[in-house]
Amino acid sequence: MIDSTIGEKKLTHELARLVLSSQPEKDQAVMDAARAGVIDFLATSFAARDDEGVGKLWKIIESEGGHQVVPIIGQKRKASFLQAALLHGFIGHALDYDDVHSDVRGHPSTVILPALLSVAATSGLSGERFLASYIVGVEVMARLGLAIGAEHYNKGWHNTATLGTIAAGVAASYAEGHSIEQIKKVIGFAATQASGLRVQFGTETKPLHAGIAAQAGLLAVSLAEVNFGGTAYALDGKTGFFSVYGDLHQAERALLLDWGNPWKFADPGLWFKIYPFCSAAHHAADAARSLMTHHDILANEIEQVQIIFPPKGDSALVVHQPQTGEQGRFSVEYVVALALNGYTLTLNNFTAAPISEEINAFLPRIYRKYDEKIEPVPHAIPKGRFTIVEVEMKDGYVYRKRVDRPRGAPGNTLSQEDIHQKLEATVAFEQGRASELIKVVSKLKSEEDMKQLLTLL
């Protein structure tokens, strides 16, 4: 009937069919990986519980009103179905301490889990279905990332937001047990809301993108549930999602191949962050820390520091001279300056407070360089990436460290123990709460388990 979407019109349909046929709960290893993902997400969210932006969003939500049905992590308060997704998305991403996925070129859990927490709080979702929906959501988001290609991000889109809207919607649609026709429409309702510009990086709006995406995904689900009219072919054709935001031909090659075999959740898997800043600076952080551990480097004897990337390897690191620790989350200069001056790379150095004078004075000694001649190694994470930190001392001596796969990345991943410790550190404000959360998530299966988890948020 609608002739503008000529072509095969099969991507939307096939994606919905594969989603509906998914049974990740049969794969115990990926279910355990999902449990680790939930714990890491809780850790990053609890860490941001007092973030100033959260208070600002509460003001807007109070002014709107709404049925308070979804408990909000670390807030001892509830919000409505849609508002909770906005809040949780922001909270999970506020510190840039949440997981990333290299296929996504962005953050999957902080859009998918907020949508699923709202579903869980308002319907009888089992713990098993919650985890399975999370795995399906990450599968969708990773495949959208592969299908849309590097150019999408390079052009200026924030993949967490654009792809996350669809992934959050589909994950929630799967959780709700929607039909294939509903899933196809959810894809369309979500795709037509996909937005988020990288020009907001370095501001509070960057993490808000995750919340907006999660909320838009849930609006898509609500629209399908009231049988709202929408296209069942949103990804297809000359004016569909991939044609407008990416490249339809590339999408046709990459979107559906080998669905769930293995699950993208486990392979390449989520990258859990050990540092509370943008993952693109983790290589440099590991390199600088390694130099400090292995050599007697005194900051005041450093002449200059070169940080060497492959071309565009630093495009997420938009800040060169941060004024605050918050801005420093997107500044490789700040991260390296901290490490070389003996500061810890922990949350307390990435707050809204002004950066220290010592660090500020050190920043002009740091330079970025790009070297297209250096070959990335095959196991580099993300693909094609490396970072070299080269410290030139005043006496002419040069220390050099290259990192291709930082700590936390797939293949160099955090242990379960590391992730549990991350949660314990961020909920240290309440004795015993971390171990209760870990206990519930570790056995998460029934509807009762899910309810118990919600009461612990």
Which positions touch a copy of itself (CB under 8 A)? Answer: 1-5, 53, 56-57, 59-60, 63-67, 80-83, 155-158, 161, 188-189, 191-205, 208-209, 212, 219, 222-223, 226-231, 233-234, 237-241, 243-244, 315, 318-323, 327
Choice between 9 and 433, CB closer to a copy of itself = 9
Q: How far is CA 370 from the centre of its chain?
A: 26
Angle separating helix axes 180-191 and 11-20, nearest 10 degrees:
120
Number of Cβ within a 10 Å radius of residue 381 = 26
What's the CA gap between 13 and 181, in Å, rounded? Answer: 8
Task: Name beta bridge partners: 400.
Answer: 390
Q: How far is the CB of 48 from a copy of itself (least distance, A)?
A: 14
Q: How far is the CB of 59 from a copy of itself (least distance, A)?
A: 5
CB-based burial label for 324 (10 Å; 0-12, 13-18, 19+) = middle
Q: What are 394's two structure tokens? A: 């005043």
Angle separating helix axes 205-225 and 180-191, nearest 10 degrees:
140
Nearest 5°: phi and psi at 304?
A: -160, 165
The residue count of the chain comes to 457
What's the CA gap between 191 and 86, in Å, rounded? Answer: 17
Q: How far is the CB of 352 from a copy of itself (least distance, A)?
A: 9
Choice between 156 and 177, CB closer to a copy of itself = 156
Choice between 222 and 416, CB closer to a copy of itself = 222
Choice between 21 and 239, CB closer to a copy of itself = 239
Choice between 24 and 89, CB closer to a copy of itself = 89
Q: How far is the CB of 418 from a copy of itself (least distance, A)?
A: 31
Choice between 52 and 448, CB closer to a copy of itself = 52
160 near 194, Cβ under 8 Å?
A: no
Q: How far is the CB of 257 from a copy of itself (least distance, A)?
A: 24
Q: How far is the CB of 209 from a copy of itself (least distance, A)?
A: 7
